Structure 1
Amino acid sequence: MKIFKILFLLALSLPLFTNAQTKATVTIQNNSALDRKETVVSIKWATVLSSYSNIDTLNFVVINANTKKQVPYQLEHHGNFAIQNLLVQIDIKAKSSLNLFIQKGKPETFTVKTYARYVPERLDDFAWENDKIAFRAYGKALEKTEGDAYGFDVWVKRTNKLVLNERYKRNDYHLDHGDGLDYYHVGYTLGAGNMAPFVKDTIRYSGNYHQWKVLDNGPLRSTFQLTFDAWNAGGIKIKAVKTISIDAGSQLNRIENVYSFDGNNPLEVVVGIIRREKPGVIALNEQQGILGYWEPTFDNDGTTAVGSILTTPVNSMWISKEQILAKTTIKANEPIVYYSGAAWDKAGKITNAKQWFDYLNNFQQQINHQLIVNIK
């Protein structure tokens, strides 16, 4: 009789235990006054496991509670063996919330929207892109050659497809074959929003990157590290590691730099954007840390927009003959985060200076008003 009662109690409790372990509900709250479109949201994997401990990482889906459709997602490792975060891409209205269900199922094949890779066949380039824009940094093999450059390069796009491999294979990326081109000039400047030490009122450029490491590679976020060997920055020996992430749907990269040098004194650095000879439209907002530039139009190639957003206090902003600059300070071995990127008017989404500056202002507000994520 006792055995029967025990089995009966177990039978009653088992369904409750099973339900608790086969589903998790994620609530995303947008308390800001801005709609978020194509936004990649990061959910800590440890939090997912706390509500859904027996999740099968190869057989689960994320469902939008309103549309009942699958939501694109990515398991982010950030260079680790263990999963760090669950990334999802969503749209969410201002002053609203969205529920997502994480449950067992066969995930759809999601479109890969970000990509990054080392390009040994083109003098050690490192190139990366998403469904909006593309960039590259210059490597060791290009140093001290006629084509050397210090800053970030922009490859404009008017397609949501990934184009880097095709363009490198074609080896003709300075002409528009229908999806965009590389007509951005960097030279001996910071290009499209690179950062460098500013010592004794002079920009102290490093050499090009010498080591690289891909931490994650799509479909929603690609992250990589570029390591720069020590250089003499006005009498200060400095090393740098730059960790760059690009999200699907974004015009801007997240850039986290760590500078290593001796001493406890803060070091001044600048973020810069190359300035063209012909007039463009420049917007400087020291209080919000925003550099915005709508370049002059280059004949049939159109207009490139470039912008940077600093998340640390800005000491000053100014326009030199060659660059638009924002100065801030760093400490040794402490990460500094900022955002930098570009857009192209021929992509048809951002077609004038006001739209670009509005985009940068809205992006800055999104940084300061993060979405709130809860899971149960």
Structure 2
Amino acid sequence: MKKFLSSIFLVLLALGHLFGQAKYPIISVTNNSSIERKDVLVSIPWVKILIADPKIDTAKFLVMDKSTEKEIPYQLEYKGEKKVQNLLLQISVKANGSLKLMIFASKAKPLAAKTFARYVPERKDDFAWENDKVAFRMYGKALEKTSEDAYGIDVWVKNTSKLVVNDRYKKNDYHKDHGDGLDYYSVGFTLGAGGMAPYVKDSIRYSGNYKSSRVLDNGPLRSTFQLSYNEWNAAGIKVNVTKTISIDAGTQLNRIEHLYHFAAPTNRLPVAIGLATRDENEKKLLLNKNGVLGYWEPVHGEDGITGVGAVTINPLKLTAIQAKQIIGTTEVKNNVPYVYYAGAAWNKAGEITNENEWFNYLQKFQNELKSPLKVSVK
């Protein structure tokens, strides 16, 4: 494959020199931070690609690293629209390093899906999603007010890069580890693995379960969906929310965007981000008011240990340890999206195996958010 791609590269360059008219879009990526980025996604507005190459065929192009001549995995992101919105590239960039990428009019090699999301009507309106690291689910109206009801984000741990959601629902035995992980995480009446809810008069004001879902993109490198909720009463404040959740290949954390609509005397609504905890006496916690929450659970027999965490760029107003969860509070504005990140890791996956590694991962993730990669197209 490398020889084949190298041949394409050399032929196209030769033709460009020969005719003096060939112009191939060049994408420059710069990492100005001291943090190496590995297998991260960068998003490039499609309009910038069209300016560089107005005739590009969305069904026939590949992206190549100019120095290594390796093909770069990509996805066209639609965000629920009919036309392409962004070009997503999965790249690695060394600390204080840079990349030069070229776009050629040639068929890209097939890319196996690394993310997936779907509505699960056969299991009481679950909505489940995953990437090559971890899986999650949220609960719908069919589960509401039953003995199985729960409020927050559930975690399905796994130790394989393969997608497992469909297979686990098909087997209907996902509380047992069949060799690739399981669902043993306990959400209950908490925010689970990084859920958010209004925090009014010193209490969390939970909504009901989601009423409708919509998939906006579904892999291979990013899956995005929206969950809508019925209006509810948050201690005298009428509140409605739409949640847009994305999961990228290669990460432990979801990007979570909440768009709140509410009727309140001010334009701001207090909210809490929470992580469910267990009953141990001394908990392994990270409570950083700069915007990082982490919890490393006690071992759960043969099931192992799950770490959960949440990250926001904005400082938190307060952090607190409650009976069944830890929380960090902030404020959201009416009709203004609020973005944060939350997710989980499993020690038996073999990559993050203790609390120090998990807490370092969360803090590093925040540092990366504060120092985004710089991308240009010409």
TM-score (norm 1): 0.94
Q: Does the residue aligned with 1:366 lie in a helix, a strand or coil?
A: helix
Deviation per CA, 1:255-294: give whole Å up to 9, x if none. Answer: 000111124431100000011002431011102x000111
Q: Would the aligned equivalents of 2:313 and 2:370 in 1 still touch at CA under 8 Å?
A: no
The runs of at least 4 aligned residues of structure 1 exceeding 2 Å deviation read 14-17
Matched, 1:199 2:197: no
Equivalent position to 1:338, from 332, 337, 340: 340
Structure 1 Cα separation of the partners of residues 196 and 313 of structure 2: 13
2:67 matched residue in structure 1: 66
Structure 2 Cα separation of the partners of residues 280 and 43 of structure 1: 41
Greater Cα shift, 229-238 or 308-317: 308-317
* Letter of the structure 2 residue corresponding to residue 56 of structure 1: D
**TM-aligned CA deviation for residue 313 of structure 1:** 2.9
**TM-aligned CA deviation for residue 311 of structure 1:** 2.6
1:10 matched residue in structure 2: none
1:209 matched residue in structure 2: 210
Q: What are the within-5 Å matches in structure 2 for residues 317-336 of structure 1? A: 317-336=319-338
Matched, 1:285 2:288: yes
Q: Would the aligned equivalents of 2:157 and 2:182 in 1 still touch at CA under 8 Å?
A: yes
Structure 2 Cα separation of the partners of residues 208 and 283 of structure 1: 28
Deviation per CA, 1:135-167: give whole Å up to 9, x if none. Answer: 000001000000000000000010000000000
* Letter of the structure 1 residue corresponding to residue 210 of structure 2: Y
Matched, 1:266 2:268: yes
Structure 2 Cα separation of the partners of residues 266 and 76 of structure 1: 32
2:242 matched residue in structure 1: 241
Deviation per CA, 1:43-71: give whole Å up to 9, x if none. Answer: 11111111111101111001111221211
Report how many residues are paired: 361
Q: Would the aligned equivalents of 2:31 and 2:98 in 1 still touch at CA under 8 Å?
A: yes
What percentage of aligned pairs have identical amino acids? 56
Greater Cα shift, 218-227 or 311-320: 311-320
2:7 matched residue in structure 1: none
Structure 1 Cα separation of the partners of residues 41 and 225 of structure 2: 17
* Letter of the structure 1 residue corresponding to residue 374 of structure 2: I
Structure 1: stretches of 5+ with no match in the other structure: 1-13
Structure 1 Cα separation of the partners of residues 308 and 43 of structure 2: 26
* Letter of the structure 2 residue corresponding to residue 286 of structure 1: K
**TM-aligned CA deviation for residue 331 of structure 1:** 1.2
Deviation per CA, 1:66-104: give whole Å up to 9, x if none. Answer: 221211100000011111100010111100001111111
Structure 2 Cα separation of the partners of residues 224 and 318 of structure 1: 30
2:172 matched residue in structure 1: 171
Structure 2: stretches of 5+ with no match in the other structure: 1-17
**TM-aligned CA deviation for residue 188 of structure 1:** 0.5
Structure 1 Cα separation of the partners of residues 55 and 240 of structure 2: 43
Greater Cα shift, 321-330 or 277-286: 277-286
2:318 matched residue in structure 1: 316
Structure 2 Cα separation of the partners of residues 213 and 59 of structure 1: 28
1:296 matched residue in structure 2: 298
**TM-aligned CA deviation for residue 16 of structure 1:** 4.0
Deviation per CA, 1:327-363: give whole Å up to 9, x if none. Answer: 0001111100000000000000000111111100110
Q: Would the aligned equivalents of 2:256 and 2:340 in 1 still touch at CA under 8 Å?
A: yes
Q: Does the residue aligned with 1:151 lie in a helix, a strand or coil?
A: coil
Q: Does the residue aligned with 1:357 lie in a helix, a strand or coil?
A: helix
1:256 matched residue in structure 2: 257
Query: What's the RMSD between the two structures over aligned residues?
Result: 1.4
1:24 matched residue in structure 2: 25
2:6 matched residue in structure 1: none
1:9 matched residue in structure 2: none
Deviation per CA, 1:83-132: give whole Å up to 9, x if none. Answer: 11000101111000011111111110111000000000000000000000
1:151 matched residue in structure 2: 152
Q: What are the within-5 Å matches in structure 2 for residues 35-114 of structure 1? A: 35-114=36-115
Matched, 1:305 2:307: yes
Larger radius of gyration: 1
* Letter of the structure 1 residue corresponding to residue 288 of structure 2: N
